[in-house]
Amino acid sequence: MAGSAGTPGTPRVLRAMNDRAALDLLLAHGPLSRTRIGKLTGLSKPTASQLLARLEAAGLVLATGTSEGRPGPSAQLYEVNPGAAYAAGLDVNPERVLAAVADITGRTVGTYELPTPGRRPDRPVVRQVTDALDGAVKAAGLARDDVRRLVIATPGAFDPNTGRLRYASHLPGWHSPALLDELAAALPMPVEYENDVNLVAIAEQRLGAARGHEDFVLLWNEGGLGAALVLGGRLHRGWTGGAGEVGFLPVPGAPLVRQVTRANSGGYQELAGSQAIPQLARELGVQDLPTGPYTEVAATLVERAAAVDAGPYRRLLERYATGLATGLASLVSVLDPELVVLSGASLTAGGEPLRALVQAELEELAASRPRLVVGDVHEHPVLRGALESALAATRDEVFDTSR
């Protein structure tokens, strides 16, 4: 293989691999010295010096202070240049569009929330998207053209065969067959669309409870009951993007729901979804029910139930755990995952008490016995997953020094 200019005798591909390894180390560890980068990559000091000089000249790394507190002279430290590129994410639900911009290190530099209440939105979807994005971009002190990539999270999924949003009839304005073309025309950067629960799984795989796991299921319960399936390290989306829409799953203990897409519900949703928790609490004689949106009421009830050992609240937690395990038994029997991550406010509010009850029930109902854990990404996990997805593609593009 012929050498390339800049590093005589070193193949361009090998040089790019070394550059990327160093950049990934800087992202993972923070500022590092030339000597430390050399040790972590196995490169000689001269090669590490050439690498850092090359990356600094390309605007990908910055010299940032020196190491102190060790014998000998202080060493120059280097870090990834935060301003090398920016990426954005949007988390869309029927009530609002939440937008954020992150620099290439992953630090969020601007956020914006656009309320969108009601069944008839007061502005077209394209304007909702651009207004929310522009709000976050402005908060970051940037311009729209500074954003290299955008990932939009929605309930349901855009069918790759038709381009239409499916499994999310409760999201007004998002079902036009021309919507994706309209958004592409309005936005200057590449745009990707992903199911919201799938993006929570990406966040947990990269930052949270599923790190190091290539086969896991993430069960989400908040506005709706859904799952993300990660098999062999990759998201499994299904033929129409509907893999993981487990709220439609028929389950014992719930009436058989027909025409599920019209009802936007199914047996598992009716049995263990967030909207079922207040009704179950009333049936069990729970007093002083909280008020507010059902998602907040459900999370509050589960949190209270997890804090007691007896009485109607305890029975509520046990019944809820049985309902959750009933649907999970079907999932794990088919997929046999290594891990199940419980996420979403109506699951994380139960913490370890709920997790332990679901684990015990699942071991009674299914032959496959994956380990259950509570998700670690608590602050806007859908949005965090959208940012992580956008950043991964942006880094692949910006960090490619072989071109």
pLDDT per residue over 160-169, tens digit each?
889 999 988 8
Residue 403 falls within a domain, yes or no? no
Q: Is the pLDDT of residue 145 over 70?
A: yes
Residues forming beta bridges with residue 339, ordered by sequence position? 216, 371
Instruction: Give the chain's domain count.
Output: 3
C-alpha 232 chain-centroid distance:
18
Under 8 Å between Cβ of 154 and 193: yes
Q: Are 295 and 280 in contact (CB under 8 A)?
A: no
280 plus 215 within the same structural domain: yes
- 52 located within any domain: yes
Query: What element of type H or E holds 87?
Result: strand 86-92
Helices (H) and strands (E) in the chain, counts: 14, 17
- Give the DSSP letter of residue 145: G
Residues 219 and 335 in one domain: yes
* 225 and 337 in a common domain: yes
Tell me the H-state helices in 366-402.
381-398
366 and 390 together in one domain: no
Q: Are strands 86-92 and 96-103 parallel, antiparallel or unpaired?
A: antiparallel
Residue 206 in any domain: the answer is no
pLDDT tens, position by position, 30-59: 999 999 999 999 999 999 999 999 999 999
Asked whether 186 and 310 are in contact (CB, 8 A), the reply is no
Q: Are residues 57 and 113 in the same domain?
A: no
Of the pLDDT bands very low, low, confident and very high (cuts 50, 70, 90), residue 2 is very low
| Phi-psi region at 292: left, alpha or beta (left = phi > 0; alpha = psi -120 to 50) | left
CA distance 216 to 218: 7
**Residue 300: inside a domain:** yes
Is 344 inside a domain boundary?
yes
Confidence (pLDDT) at 262: 81
Let me know whether 145 and 223 are in one domain: no
The answer to whether residues 188 and 182 touch, using CB atoms and an 8 Å cutoff, is no
Domain boundary among 45, 80, 115: 80
Instruction: Label residues 330-346 b or e (16+ Cβ within 10 Å = b).
Output: bbbeebebebbbbbbbb
Beta strands in 119-274 (DSSP E): 147-154, 157-158, 165-166, 191-195, 216-221, 225-231, 234-235
Do residues 91 and 75 both lie within one domain?
no
CATH code at position 8:
1.10.10.10
Tell me the CATH number at 139.
Answer: 3.30.420.40
Same domain for 270 and 355? Answer: yes
Residue that has been written with the tokens 């293989």 in this structure: 1
Task: Give CA–CA dist 384/397, Å, rounded.
Answer: 20
- The answer to whether position 341 is within a domain reads yes
pLDDT for res 133: 98
SS3 (DSSP) at 68:
coil
Mean pLDDT of the region 75-84: 95
Same domain, 62 and 134: no
DSSP character string of 241-291: S-TT-GGG---TTSPPP-SHHHHT--HHHHHHSTTHHHHHHHHTT--S---
pLDDT exceeds 50 at position 7: no
Residue 217, helix vs strand vs coil = strand
pLDDT in tens, 209-257: 999 999 999 999 999 999 999 999 999 999 999 999 999 999 999 989 9
Same domain, 184 and 271: no
User: Do 217 and 327 fall within a single domain?
Assistant: yes
pLDDT digit string, tens, across residues 268-319: 999 999 999 999 999 999 998 999 999 999 999 999 999 999 999 999 999 9
- The contacts found for 130-138 with CB under 8 angstroms, 24 or more apart, are 130/186, 130/187, 132/90, 132/97, 132/98, 132/99, 133/88, 133/90, 133/99, 133/187, 135/99, 136/88, 136/99, 136/100, 136/101, 136/110, 136/111, 136/112, 137/88, 137/101, 137/110, 138/110, 138/112
Look up the domain containing 279 and give its range.
Answer: 211-376
Nearest to 358 by CA among 337, 341, 333, 381: 341
Domain-embedded: residue 158: yes
Whether 157 and 12 share a structural domain: no
